[in-house]
Chain A
Amino acid sequence: DAKTTQPNSMESNEEEPVHLPCNHSTISGTDYIHWYRQLPSQGPEYVIHGLTSNVNNRMASLAIAEDRKSSTLILHRATLRDAAVYYCILMDSSYKLIFGSGTRLLVRP
């Protein structure tokens, strides 16, 4: 069901920026790009979302390609607490989130 493609895992050093890529080549014009993460033993947690323009919030930035076929979640300074599985999900008019396998982010101290 997932219409996005993400790497299975990525590693980062603490205090360094992390760029998590996502491909969504079949995105339609009204689909929003959502990112969630799941820390160990917790429920999914909202990170950020956008439609066409790049977005920033207190947790992260979202860079969306001009053709919207890909996006990148940017964590500006990774901390150990950011170790989680990150999910890139397209929200369409069905109003439901379909989770794929996501990217497992490992943060090295």
Chain B
Amino acid sequence: EPEVTQTPSHQVTQMGQEVILRCVPISNHLYFYWYRQILGQKVEFLVSFYNNEISEKSEIFDDQFSVERPDGSNFTLKIRSTKLEDSAMYFCASRGVGLNTEAFFGQGTRLTVV
């Protein structure tokens, strides 16, 4: 069964440092997403990406965040200057075209900012 893969599984970084979280979506999917989940809280939408551009972003996705699809297979989330409150699980997801398709999620990257 196809799957979304995320690396690394766990990232520890110092406050103020830049981090890049990586995702390999399912190959024929065209919609890509990043979500985050702070420990014990809801899964929160960050950004959706289609046709090489951001289609929608939430209030959480401020100027510190950026996404990129650098080579046609990877989909990355960059946090420019991490804050303690960025500590969370970050999930990548992808799906095909149309409302009648399901999304597939990766297993997540646990980001710990110290």
Contact = CB atoms under 8 A, between A and B. Distances in A.
Contacts of A97: 33, 45, 93, 103
On chain B, which size bracket covers the interface? 20 to 34
Contacts of A95: 31, 48, 50, 55, 95, 99
On chain A, which size bracket covers the interface? 20 to 34
A51 to B, nearest CB: 7
Given A32-B100, A51-B100, A94-B56, A99 B33 contact: no
Interface string A43-79: 1111001010000000000000000000000000000
- The DSSP consensus for interface residues of chain A is loop
Interface in B58-114: 91, 93, 95, 99-100, 102-108
A46 B43 contact: no
Contacts, number: 58
A107 B47 CA distance: 34
Given A43-B105, A43-B107, A98 B99 contact: no
A6 to B, nearest CB: 12
Given A95-B50, A98-B45, A101-B42, A44 B99 contact: no
A96 interface: yes
A97 B108 CA distance: 16
A55 to B, nearest CB: 11
Interface string A89-108: 00111111111110000000
